[in-house]
Amino acid sequence: MKERIRERARELGFDDCRFAAATAPAGAAQFQKWLAAKHFGQMHWMERQAPKRLDPQKILPGAKSVICVAASYHLARNQRSEAAGNHAPAAESFSAPPATETGATGVIARYARLDDYHDVLGEKLKRLAQFVDETGGPSARSLWYVDTGPILERDYAQRAGLGFIGKHTNLISRQFGNWIFLAEILTTLELEPDPPEQNHCGRCTRCLTACPTGAITAPFELDARKCISYLTIELKGPIPVEFRRAIGNRVFGCDDCLAACPWNRFAREGRLMKSHVREDLQQPALTEWLALDEKSFQQKFAGSPILRAKRRGFLRNVCVVLGNIGNESALPALEKAARDPEPLIAEHARWAMDEIRARAKPKRNPPA
């Protein structure tokens, strides 16, 4: 049965498929500690759904197994550019001085430069779940999730042997590095578990050092409230002023801790996602995006994960990035944004203008 399911998963395009027992997650105590510290920020569903995350039986009564699948979103062209000397981690980290030309561009997290993985993987996973139920017989029942259900997916992925949870709290595959999507099927079928993966971080702390805001407060501990991915995607209100400059040129999400991981040297291009690249999201022209109204925003990002931030959140991010890397040529667009009927956008536009004007002031020579 396992091999038939695994073969079907590969036929559907998944790069790996492993199996775990549907018992309580090994990281339950650590998860409860994280909740108690309120490190989830505004992601209150994590707290509301905690009982289900701690007990798969509360999701699917009678669940016996978790089928864990992975799909790599690494692109070979990223590997080629790094080999040619244009190292992606350095290029995608904010270390450059403010832009001196018009058309400042920002950076979008790698996963979001593709079609929305929820849709791409979901269509395939639904078919795999149907296959599991049909193969398992009339008593088989399954539920599938692509990063949407109340399940500690990285915990089960490590238990199933897909990879190990790194010090940045993300899953690392020894075959695909950090660039992987995860999805799961809970099933009432009893399938023999695969051997779990062991941690292979060793003494490495590159991800902790790479984090621009210190969100990785200790190995295996993340304070989401400081994480740039949280600040630019999940946070619905103003970005705290103390974090705005650290956001640098990151418009949506952050890859810094992932890109720093040495296991990425083994990354391989996946089969499922490589045909879903969004070329228009590779180097976003910020002032053009700042002009998007609600309708054009919806049209521009149809089928993209960026819709999650909504127009107000995304243009908020664009303003912050322009405040960090823009020059005076960006002021007209920001002045218009400062009159936007959405207060969140207007406030961040005013902040960005102040930042640009402060940089543009001539520096006085100290008195002799």
Rounded Cα–Cα distance for residues 145 and 231 (Å):
24
Say if 31 falls within a structural domain: yes
Say if 237 falls within a structural domain: no
Rounded Cα–Cα distance for residues 321 and 149 (Å):
32
Cα–Cα nearest to 224, from 211, 205, 206:
211
Looking at residue 368, its pLDDT comes to 57
**88 CB contacts (<8 Å, ≥6 apart)?**
78, 81, 82, 259
Say if 30 falls within a structural domain: yes
DSSP-based helix, strand, coil % in the chain, nearest 5: 45, 10, 40
Say if 21 falls within a structural domain: yes
Under DSSP, is residue 74 helix (H, G, I), strand (E, B) or coil?
coil
Neighbours of 130 (CB within 10 A): 13
Looking at residue 361, its pLDDT comes to 84
**340 CB contacts (<8 Å, ≥6 apart)?**
315, 346, 349
Looking at residue 366, its pLDDT comes to 59
Say if 360 falls within a structural domain: no
Looking at residue 98, its pLDDT comes to 43
pLDDT in tens, 175-195: 999 999 999 999 999 999 999
Rounded Cα–Cα distance for residues 55 and 51 (Å):
6
Q: 318 and 251 in contact (C-beta within 8 Å)?
A: yes
Say if 44 falls within a structural domain: yes
Looking at residue 326, its pLDDT comes to 94
Marked catalytic residue, from 147, 194, 255, 354: 147
Looking at residue 284, its pLDDT comes to 72
**130 CB contacts (<8 Å, ≥6 apart)?**
none
pLDDT, mean of each 10-residue run, the chain (368 residues): 97 97 95 95 93 96 98 78 38 40 76 96 97 93 94 97 98 95 98 97 97 97 98 97 97 97 94 90 86 96 96 98 96 97 98 96 64
Say if 29 falls within a structural domain: yes
**Which string of DSSP letters, residue by residue, matches 185-248?**
EEESS--PPPPPPPP--TT--HHHHH-TT--EEETTEE-GGG-HHIIIII--SPPPHHHHHHHT
Looking at residue 79, its pLDDT comes to 53
Cα–Cα nearest to 194, from 154, 161, 155, 164:
161
**367 CB contacts (<8 Å, ≥6 apart)?**
none
| Number of separate helices (H) and strands (E) present in the chain | 17, 10
Q: State pTM to two decimals.
A: 0.90
Q: 127 and 12 in contact (C-beta within 8 Å)?
A: yes
- Is 223 among the catalytic positions? no
Beta strands, E only, the chain = 16-21, 65-72, 107-108, 142-145, 164-165, 171-172, 180-187, 216-218, 221-222, 250-252
Number of domains in the chain: 1
Domain hosting 177: range is: 2-74+116-187
Say if 297 falls within a structural domain: no
Task: Name the β-bridge partners of 165.
Answer: 171
Looking at residue 158, its pLDDT comes to 98
pLDDT in tens, 66-125: 999 999 999 876 654 444 333 333 334 443 334 434 457 899 999 999 999 999 999 999
Looking at residue 92, its pLDDT comes to 42
